[in-house]
Amino acid sequence: MTNALSLYLDALRFGAAFAVFVSHYATGRISGGLFWQFDGGRTAVLVFFVLSGFVIAWVSDTRERTLEDYGLSRIARLYSVIIPAFLLTAALDSVGKAVDPRLYGPEWGHSMAHPVIDYALSALFLGESWTMRVLPGFNVPYWSLNYEAWYYALFAVATFLRGRPRIAALIMAALLAGPRILLLLPVWLMGVAAWRWRAALPRRLGLPLVFVCLAGFIALEALGGERLFWHPSSGLLPPDFSAYDFVLGALVALLIIGLANVRLPMPARRFEGLVRGLAGTSFGLYLLHYPLLNFFGTVVPGPPDGALHRVLVFGLALGGALGLASLIEPRKGALKAQLRTVLHILLGKPPPPAVARQRLS
C-alpha cells in the first residue's frame, strides 16, 4: 500500500467514525434533533467493514504472516480499547442513572436485566449471535464489534489453517457467530477482494472509477439511500438489513480499487500529520463517544435544544472521546508484546527477542 493511499484511507476511516458520532449526537434526547436530517451512522459502519477487510488482507500479506502475529495483533487491537470502554461505560452509566434514570431505560437501547452477563457476552463477541441482542451497558455502537471480531476469526482460520482443521474450525466459528453476523460477511470480504484485485485494474481507469463510485453514492443517497430498499424483519437478520448493504459495500470496495490506481496528491506534512493523528483515534472515538454523549446529555443543564446545551454536549463528548482515544490506542503495541510473552510462557517457547534482550541487560 502506498503512503498516499494509506493517507486517503485514514481520512475515510476518521470520517466514518465522525459520521457515527454526529448521527448519535443528532438524536432528540441529546441535541433536540439538531442535524436530524443526517442519518449516516449505519452507512459509516458498512464503510468500516469494507476498510477493515482491505486492511486485514493487506497486513496478512505483508506484516502478519503467521497465525501468532495475526492473532495477537487483532486481540491487542480490540481489547486495548474495549477494556477501557467497558470501564468508562459502567462508570458513566452508574452516575448518569443516578442523575436521571429516564434516559437509561431499555427504550433507549440500554441493557438492564443482567449487566454482568451482558458485559461477559460482549467481551466474547457473542452479543449479536443468532437471536441475541446484548450490549455492554449503554454502548450501542458496540453491536458492530461482534461482527468485526468474528470476521477476523473466520479470516484467520481460512488463511492460516489447512485441511480438516480448517474445515472444522470454520464450521465451529460459523455456528458460534450465527446467521445474522454471517449475512454481512460478504460486505467485509469486498474489502479483502479490493486488496487482492487492486492491481487488476488498468491504471488509466482508476480516476474514472473513483468518479463513478462517488457519483453513484451521491445519487443513491440523494434518492433515499437505505429507504429505496426493502427491509425484511427477522430476529436472524442484522439491524436494518437490506440489499443496500451490498450495494454500498461494492461501491466502497470499487472506490478503494480506483484510488489504488490513481496518482493521489499529497497534502502538506502538517496536514498529513493531522489526518494520521485523527485516524489513530478512530476506534476509540467510535467506541467511547456514545456513553460520553449520553452522560453529558444527562448532566449538562438546560433543555436538549438549548444552544449552550448543544455546544457543551458536542464539545465535551467529542473532546473527551478524542482525548481518551489518544491515550488508549497507542497502548496496543505494548499489550501485544505482553500477550506474546504470556503465550510463549504457556507454550514453553523461548521468550520473544525483546524480552530476552531485556533480561540480559
The answer for residues whose C-beta is within 8 angstroms of residue 187's C-beta and 6 or more apart is 46, 49, 50, 53, 245, 246, 248, 249
Confidence of residue 36 (pLDDT cuts 50, 70, 90): low
Sign, Cα dihedral of 75, 77, 80, 84? negative
Confidence of residue 108 (pLDDT cuts 50, 70, 90): low
Let me know: does 121 contact 178? Beta carbons within 8 Å: no
**Cell numbers at 37, concatenated:** 436530517
Output the furthest CA–CA distance in the chain (Å, rounded). 66
Confidence of residue 163 (pLDDT cuts 50, 70, 90): very high
The answer for residues whose C-beta is within 8 angstroms of residue 253's C-beta and 6 or more apart is 50, 54, 190, 191, 193, 194
Confidence of residue 360 (pLDDT cuts 50, 70, 90): very low
The answer for residues whose C-beta is within 8 angstroms of residue 291's C-beta and 6 or more apart is 85, 88, 89, 92, 93, 137, 138, 139
Domain count, the chain: 1
Distance separating alpha carbons of residues 147 and 343, to the nearest angstrom: 25
Let me know: does 25 contact 293? Beta carbons within 8 Å: yes
Looking at residue 107, its pLDDT comes to 65
Express each pLDDT in 74-94 by its tens digit: 999 999 999 999 999 999 999
3-state secondary structure at position 264 = coil
Query: Which residues form the domain of 92?
Result: 3-360
Q: What average pLDDT does range 289-294 have in this prediction?
A: 95
Is residue 62 left, alpha or beta, with left meaning phi > 0 and alpha meaning psi from -120 to 50?
alpha
Looking at per-residue confidence, does 204 or 348 come out higher? 204
**Cell numbers at 58, concatenated:** 493487506
**Mean pLDDT score of the chain, rounded to an integer?**
92
